[in-house]
Chains A and B, each alone.
Chain A
Amino acid sequence: DAKTTQPPSMDCAEGRAANLPCNHSTISGNEYVYWYRQIHSQGPQYIIHGLKNNETNEMASLIITEDRKSSTLILPHATLRDTAVYYCIVRGGGTSYGKLTFGQGTILTVHP
């Protein structure tokens, strides 16, 4: 699975959009981009995933560049409860199913 690079930390004001970047320049054609978050040492929680199209669900939006070498997770209206470590993960299909390779993630702090 391709490696990912994320900034170690970011801040965001409550109510504003939080934009978390991720670089995955060695991603291959069949690899998906996943985002998970971990709130205060709880088990990680799935947020969203995508292959090449932009995706949106009730939690967030995922924007993937056309060359797929980077992506951005957008939390449209951040709240204090969104303070967490956010992990960007690239995962292949087939035998990689059920396995995730975590980096160190981005610590997002949402402040009042």
Chain B
Amino acid sequence: NAGVTQTPKFQVLKTGQSMTLQCAQDMNHEYMSWYRQDPGMGLRLIHYSVGAGITDQGEVPNGYNVSRSTTEDFPLRLLSAAPSQTSVYFCASSSKRGAKSDEQFFGPGTRLTVL
């Protein structure tokens, strides 16, 4: 299993540009989440999904859109990038089926800089 994969690893955008951060998991997990981490801070939840076709907002959703058309993929779209969105973005997945814990598996992160 590859686990949780994220692309790209690094990205530089200009203010106003849009882009999509990709996240995929091959563990058949029903739960997927996007977090952002600013320097020296803990992670903050942007959006999450409890299954294909179902998404909901987290703590800091403004400026981001998500969709979940398949179990495997959960892309995060930046509509019009702003310098305040400069951050490291982590995708995570987990499963409640047969699990004793809500162990979330995290991807390696995407480091985004908005100029």
Whole-angstrom CA separation of A105 from B105 in the bound complex: 18
B-contact bits for A42-80, CB 8 A (1 contact / 0 none): 111110010000000000000000000000000000000
Shortest B48–chain A CB gap in Å is 6
> Interface size (B, Cβ < 8 Å)?
29
Would B90 and A43 count as touching, CB distance under 8 A? yes
Would B102 and A97 count as touching, CB distance under 8 A? yes
> Interface size (A, Cβ < 8 Å)?
21
Give residues 67-106 of B contacting A (CB, 8 Å): 88, 90, 92, 94, 96, 101-106
- Which residues of chain B come closer than 8 Å to A42, judged between CB atoms? 106, 108-109
B-contact bits for A69-112, CB 8 A (1 contact / 0 none): 00000000000000000010001000001111111110000000
> Assuming A44-B106, A105-B42, what are 11 further A-B pairs, CB within 8 angstroms?
A34-B101, A36-B104, A42-B106, A44-B90, A49-B102, A87-B42, A91-B102, A97-B94, A100-B45, A102-B35, A104-B40
Question: Measuring CB to CB, which residues of chain B are less than 8 angstroms from any residue of chain A?
Answer: 4, 31-33, 35, 40-45, 48, 50, 58-59, 88, 90, 92, 94, 96, 101-109
Question: Measuring CB to CB, which residues of chain A are less than 8 angstroms from any residue of chain B?
Answer: 32, 34, 36, 41-46, 49, 87, 91, 97-105
